[in-house]
Chain A
């Protein structure tokens, strides 16, 4: 069966410090991968998605970047964190090539980031 891992689970970082959040998927190959942010009282916001190694699409301009160095590894990074980067970061995967009408995204456990 497929599983998705995220770490760390919780992170407290000072403003201006770098960030690296990691997401890995097991039990599947060639997945679509996604990074979302969920701010308090707000809906999930898609940050990045990837359909393959080295292929990253950014949904919103921001202080963050993403990379996919391996097929089942997705990394969210920042060189200098801002207070507004605080939130709950979720990684998700879906089957590549499936029809969007029935596509299911499977979410990881999330990373709670607090920037002070």
Chain B
């Protein structure tokens, strides 16, 4: 079954600290993997996208990695800010019908 699992479910860190969010998937065949940021009560906004041949992609303080062999991805946030408080969603496109499969997200709270 094509699934996307994220960990942890929630995370609290202090402002200025770094953190890493994990995404494991069982989707096959694989097309791409995207990380979205969703502020509370808003729609998701794309942060990064990686295809099979890419293993690192950065967007400012956000760095995503992809290991297509182990089917794992991570999102590293550097020098966290209060505005980073949001839900981070891992989305994999793939499977027999090449559809988007969404993870349930990691809820990040950055405290002053």
Contact = CB atoms under 8 A, between A and B. Distances in A.
Contacts of A110: 41-43
A102 B49 contact: yes
A104 B43 contact: no
Interface stretch (A13-21, A38-46, A61-69, A73-81): A38-46
Contact of A43 (B42, B98, B104): B104
A2 interface: no
B88 interface: no
Most A C-beta atoms less than 10 A away, residue of B4, B42, B100? B100
Interface string A2-29: 0010000000000000000000000000
A47 interface: no
B43 A90 contact: yes
A107 B102 contact: no
Given A92-B43, A109-B42, A112-B41, A100 B93 contact: yes
A84 interface: no
Contacts of A103: 93
Chain B CB within 10 Å — which of A92, A104, A105, A108 has the most? A105
Interface string B58-99: 000000000000000000000000000000010001000011
A104 B26 CA distance: 21
Interface string A93-116: 000000011111111111010000
B86 to A, nearest CB: 13
B22 interface: no
Contacts of A102: 32, 49, 51
Contacts of A106: 46
B44 A101 contact: no
Closest 4 CB pairs of A and B: A107-B43, A43-B102, A44-B102, A43-B104
Interface of B: 4, 31-32, 34, 41-46, 49, 51, 89, 93, 98-105
Given A46-B99, A107-B43, 9 more contacts: A43-B103, A43-B104, A44-B102, A88-B41, A92-B43, A100-B32, A100-B98, A104-B34, A108-B43
